Amino acid sequence: VGDGGYRGVLISFGKPFAQVTIEGAQVRTGAGALLSAVAKQVLNASLTGFEFAAGIPGTIGGAVVMNAGAYGGELCQVLREAKQSLMEAQKRGIKVVLASGRPTYGVMPLAEELELGYRTSCVQKNGYIVLEAVLQLQPGNADDIRAVMDALASKRREKQPLEYPSAGSTFKRPEGHFAGRLIQDAGLRGFRVGGAQVSEKHCGFVINRDHATSADILSLCRQVQEKVKAQFGVELELEVKLLGEF
């Protein structure tokens, strides 16, 4: 979020949209449910397929919008459908407004129609609002599921700069390359602008090392993009979204 703030309204779905219902191997979850909370509930139900998402900081709604993923897993692998629930929306007096400004109720397409790709979807492109999602998982062994989650959590702590504030992975993975490796090979490990720094632990992360402003972070990102492009001819695209006035 820019240092100048955001001139508009931000809506947090929160608890009214955080319900999780498990029926067999299907999981129906509101858009406001945290991925970590859903992962805990499917673990308790001995359902496998969602282990990759346990450590991703975010909600189901956000995960659908960007087809979130980590460690070889993506939401598209388990998402059956995402929708705006007519009944629930009417119950809460909610109108879902599309980018065109036209208020509407209704059901969004099944997962195969959502154009889910690497960190993208038609939900993102068209400005839809996700209210809930249905996941299709598989029966598994709770001990095995927990072991995978613990292993991924350990890997995160070892390889990612979780001790500093950040917005997560800063740049998308360019085709045929790894953003962190390109940044490291460009000699930018530890590169700083004001309080912002390229993580020394993982060069794919830009961290708030010491009271960084949004301007510091954005300036650092732009300089990283320029230097990588000059050395390797590869354009790094931001994975994080910019919101408000910079």
* Catalytic residue list: 119, 169, 239
SS (H, E, C) the chain: CCCCCCCCCCCCCCHHHCCEEEECCEEEEECCCEHHHHHHHHHHCCEECCHHHCCCCCEHHHHHHHCCEECCEEHHHCEEEEECCHHHHHHCCCCEECCCCCEECCCCCEHHHCCCECCECHHHHHCCCCCEEEEECEECCHHHHHHHHHHHHHHHHHHCCCCCCEEEECECCCCCCCHHHHHHHCCCCCCEECCEEECCCCCCEEEECCCCCHHHHHHHHHHHHHHHHHHHCCCCCECCCCCCCC
